[in-house]
Amino acid sequence: MKAYTHVLGGVSAALIVMRLPVPHPVTWMAASVVGSLLPDWDLPQSVVGRLIPWPAVSASRGRGRPPRLGRAFWPHPIWHRHQAHSVLGVAVVSILASLLLAMVATILLHARIAWPWVTWGLFCGGLSHLALDGFNDERQWWLWPLTKHGFRWPLHAGVRYIDHLTAGLLLFAIFILAAPMAHQWEIHGPWSR
């Protein structure tokens, strides 16, 4: 999926969780949106991947197929939609990213962040990323390291065919999920919880 579709997925996931009493809703929403982009750190041309100074690698997959892309690692590369697109990979990246954010906030801004809520928000957004990428043709290693078997949803297609449809459905879901909250925010404000 494209980055904007993953962002819409992160917003949808945050709105679903925010139906429960979440103490920091704005922090949760922002973390979920950022987390929805984090699993693509292994893809050098992604929004997050461009910010990471880690050597990229590619390998041919045969004639007529696009090359496999990923990041250099020892003893084997981390290929796109493999280790980073697993539940464990999302959890590790969420923890590392929230620790980095907490250090930056403390050192540069002399501020404290709601660290556990940022971690859970990043994780929630990361899981939405995995769920959306399940609609792609390429399989993902959701259960790595338990298995290297690739998974995808029964309904799947190439990104160019399914991305716009998915984005439209997510916009509709956001409207449905946010409508009840709009009335609450009108009365109490978005930071009332």
How does pLDDT run across 8-57, given as a tens digit for each residue? 999 999 999 988 887 788 888 999 999 999 999 999 889 998 988 888 88
Q: Using 50, 70 and 90 to split pLDDT, how confident is the model at 184?
A: low
Overall number of domains in the chain: 1
Average pLDDT across the chain, whole number: 88
User: Using CA atoms, how far apart are residues 32 and 15, in angstroms rounded to an integer?
Assistant: 10
Q: Look at residue 181 and tell me if it is in a domain.
A: yes
Point out which residues pair with 140 in neighbouring strands: 151
For 51-65, 72-86, 106-120, 167-181, which range has the lowest pLDDT when averaged over its residues? 106-120
How high is the pLDDT of residue 188? 54
Is residue 185 pLDDT above 70, yes or no? no
Q: Tokens 């962040």 sit at which residue?
A: 113
For 7-21, 62-76, 137-151, which range has the lowest pLDDT when averaged over its residues? 62-76
**What pTM value is reported for the model?**
0.86
Is residue 193 pLDDT above 70, yes or no? no
Say how many Å lie between the first and final Cα of the chain, rounded. Answer: 33
pLDDT mean over 108-118: 78
Q: Look at residue 180 and tell me if it is in a domain.
A: yes
Q: Which two tokens stand for residue 26?
A: 């704005």
For residues 141 and 42, the answer to whether their CB atoms sit within 8 Å is no
Q: Which has the higher per-residue pLDDT, 92 or 189?
A: 92
User: What is the amino acid identity at position 113?
Assistant: I
User: Using CA atoms, how far apart are residues 99 and 142, in angstroms rounded to an integer?
Assistant: 24
**Percentage of the residues of the chain whose pLDDT score is greater than 70:** 94
Q: Look at residue 62 and tell me if it is in a domain.
A: no
Q: Look at residue 133 and tell me if it is in a domain.
A: yes
Q: Look at residue 55 and tell me if it is in a domain.
A: no
Q: Look at residue 57 and tell me if it is in a domain.
A: no
Q: Look at residue 16 and tell me if it is in a domain.
A: yes
Q: Look at residue 66 and tell me if it is in a domain.
A: no
For residues 16 and 35, the answer to whether their CB atoms sit within 8 Å is no
Distance set, CA 159 to CA 49, 53, 142, 165 (Å): 19, 27, 19, 10
Q: Which domain holds residue 96?
A: 3-48+81-188
Q: Using 50, 70 and 90 to split pLDDT, how confident is the model at 141?
A: very high
How high is the pLDDT of residue 27? 86
User: What is the amino acid identity at position 137?
Assistant: D
Query: What strands, in cross-sheet order, belong to the sheet with 68-71?
Result: 56-59, 68-71, 78-79
Q: Using 50, 70 and 90 to split pLDDT, how confident is the model at 192?
A: low
Q: Using 50, 70 and 90 to split pLDDT, how confident is the model at 60?
A: confident
Is residue 95 pLDDT above 70, yes or no? yes
